[in-house]
């Protein structure tokens, strides 16, 4: 009996004492925190992807609360809707966000770009990139080992085992930019999602001369400037033997797609063109 009593008293005493100490410590180290941070955090997607440039959603929420305007702050995952909610809570104005999406700019599938050697080692693009130019003759293109796939927290980008190129799942991609950072070849770019997800882009980042390119990859941009000349909106820039379509200026007229000799310019989610059989008939009636 004595033993039980003694242990109850001593343990209870230690417990009570610790509680008192803890109470005072908590008082002393109490951090005053803006209650709105919690509110803001609650409307954020809680993906902690870091796409906003902050380490996690809570840090972003804190930044929103302390910032004067929300102009430079945006949550790529939640998009405009989320930022409006945040703006409501804080009584600030949200900047309009143009929805973007990750775009893989390499068309070098196994057929189009033949392997010249075979890599044997760690399955990591960054390690291969550090080692050498890659399994194909093109030292700019996709290595196909899936660093982007690993980096994606939304399960939105996957290497297609047939083409060995990554493919972006449009419904899942939140444009957080993790894959853009993960890709050692800087192939992936965040581009404007475009109306009805329609996009036109140059599917190549190879800066070698056209003659060299053509040997190693059938769909490489050879820097011929045909698209540059045909574009009515000056949306195409030429440089380093490579064309680049500015998604801000592009009006999706698709003229460049038609003139590209190597099919390096890709159009996405457009309705099928009128077939060529129709064309002569229409011109014929006009005559």
Minimum distance from residue 185 beta carbon to other proteins (Å): 12
Query: How many Å apart are CA 104 and CA 171, to the nearest integer?
Result: 16
Q: x/- site string to other proteins, residues 159 to 198, per CB under 8 A?
A: ----------------------------------------
CA distance 232 to 250: 9
Q: Judged by CB under 8 A, does residue 126 bind other proteins?
A: yes
- Please report which residue ranges of 141-274 form alpha helices under DSSP H: 147-151, 178-182, 210-216, 226-230, 255-259
DSSP classification of residue 154:
S
Structure tokens at 121: 């080692």
Give the containing element (helix H, strand E) for 244.
strand 242-245
Residue closer to other proteins by CB (options 141, 194) is 141
Q: Which of 107, 134, 194, 223 binds other proteins (CB under 8 A)?
A: 134
Interface with other proteins includes 130 (CB under 8 A)? yes
Q: Virtual CA dihedral for 229, 233, 238, 243, nearest 10 degrees?
A: -90
Per the structure block, which two tokens stand in for 231? 């574009």
Span from 123-131, 159-167, 258-266, 267-275 in contact with other proteins (CB under 8 A): 123-131
DSSP 170: T
CB of 118 to other proteins, least distance (A): 5
Site string for other proteins, 80-119 (x = CB under 8 A): -----------------------------------xxxxx
Contact call for residue 124 and other proteins (CB under 8 A) = yes
Residues 210-249: x/- map of binding to other proteins (CB under 8 A)? --x-------------------------------------
Q: Specify whether the backbone of 155 is left (phi greater than 0), alpha (psi in -120 to 50) or beta.
A: left
Of 99, 96, 42, 39, the closest CA to residue 73 belongs to 96
* Total residues in contact with other proteins, by rule CB under 8 A: 22
Residue 200 and residue 214: Cα distance in Å, rounded?
Answer: 22
Measured from the CB of residue 45, what is the shortest distance to other proteins in angstroms? 23
Residue of 135, 189, 192, 260 that binds other proteins (CB under 8 A):
135
Give the Cα separation of 114 and 117 in Å (integer).
9
| Residue (80 or 124) nearer to other proteins, CB | 124
Residues that bind other proteins (CB under 8 A): 115-122, 124, 126-127, 130-135, 137, 139, 208-209, 212
């Amino acid at each position: 009996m004595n033993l039980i009593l003694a242990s109850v008293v001593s343990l209870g005493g230690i417990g009570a004492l610790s509680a008192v100490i803890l109470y005072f410590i908590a008082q002393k180290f109490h951090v005053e925190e803006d209650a709105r941070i919690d509110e803001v955090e609650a409307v954020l997607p809680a993906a902690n992807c870091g796409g906003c440039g902050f380490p996690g959603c809570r840090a972003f929420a804190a930044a929103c609360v302390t910032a004067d305007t929300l102009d430079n702050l945006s949550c790529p995952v939640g998009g405009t809707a989320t930022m409006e909610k945040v703006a409501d809570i804080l009584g600030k104005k949200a900047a309009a966000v143009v929805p973007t999406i990750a775009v893989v700019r390499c068309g070098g599938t196994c057929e189009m770009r033949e392997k010249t050697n075979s890599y044997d080692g760690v399955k990591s693009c960054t390690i291969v990139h550090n080692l050498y130019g890659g399994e194909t003759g093109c030292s700019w293109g996709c290595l196909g080992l899936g660093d982007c796939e690993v980096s994606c927290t939304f399960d939105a980008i996957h290497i297609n085992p047939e083409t060995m190129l990554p493919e972006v799942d449009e419904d899942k991609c939140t444009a957080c930019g993790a894959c853009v950072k993960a890709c050692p070849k800087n192939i992936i770019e965040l581009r404007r999602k475009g109306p009805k997800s329609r996009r036109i882009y140059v599917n190549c980042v190879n800066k070698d001369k056209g003659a060299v390119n053509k040997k190693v990859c059938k769909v490489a941009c050879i820097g011929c400037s045909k698209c540059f000349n045909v574009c009515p909106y000056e949306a195409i820039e030429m440089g380093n033997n490579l064309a680049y379509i500015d998604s801000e200026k592009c009006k999706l007229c698709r003229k460049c797609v038609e003139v590209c000799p190597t099919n390096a310019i890709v159009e996405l989610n457009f309705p099928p063109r009128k077939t060529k059989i129709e064309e002569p008939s229409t011109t014929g009636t006009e005559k």
